[in-house]
Amino acid sequence: MENYEPEVILTKKIKNYASTVVHCDGCGERLKHELKTILGNENKKTITFDLVKKIRDFLVTENEDLYLHTMLDESDLHLPTITPPTRNPELEARVQKLRNEQANREYKEMTRNVNLSERCKTDTFGEEIKSLNRQMIAVFNFIVTVGAGFAFGYKTVEYSVGYSLPMQMMCGLIFGTLVFFADLYFLLKHTA
């Protein structure tokens, strides 16, 4: 990559300062030569910023009160146009291929839940029947367990106290309710 040195537009003010430096005796030969080539060329419209600083530094050493911003007062920064390097065709083809692959991945991600035929391949009639059978067995087991808890409480009072219908019903309902909530807890824990 080329090294671009900043340039400023050559104004009459900068030309006057440059001619002052050229006519001074204490100026170095190299600086004089550079300034003479710039002043001698009428088509030259820019000057390097480094050369403007050299002019200013020389004039300051000659006891002239000069600031850089006053020299550049009417001037402007001139930036050369930078031409970007041409890209390798193989690299460009590879980048285009990767962009297309990324676009395809994003499209598949967006349309993932739209295509129902792909999603419903696993859902078959046999699996639905098995799931229904499991649920029916769980409900039947729930009802039988609660009924057995009620019967246990009912018969426990009959064997221990004797025949007393209100006491038997109350104890059967208490045992049935306890078994109901215990079985409900385990049923919900198992299914969730």
Model confidence pLDDT, tens digit, residues 107-129: 988 888 776 665 555 567 788 88
Mean pLDDT of the region 159-184: 91
Torsion of CA 68, 71, 72, 73, to 10 degrees: 110
Within 10 Å of residue 179's Cβ, how many Cβ atoms? 19
Instruction: Domain ranges for the chain, please list them.
Output: 7-78, 139-192
Nearest residue to 49 via CA among 94, 14, 24: 14
113 φ, ψ (degrees, to nearest 5): -95, 5
- 15-65 per-position pLDDT tens digit: 888 888 888 877 778 888 888 888 777 777 788 888 888 888 888 887 777
Helix (H) or strand (E) holding 46: strand 46-48
Q: What is each CA distance from 67 to 53, 70, 71, in whole angstroms?
A: 10, 5, 7
159 touches 151 (CB < 8 A): no
* 153 pLDDT higher than 80: yes
- 52-74 per-position pLDDT tens digit: 888 888 888 877 777 877 778 87
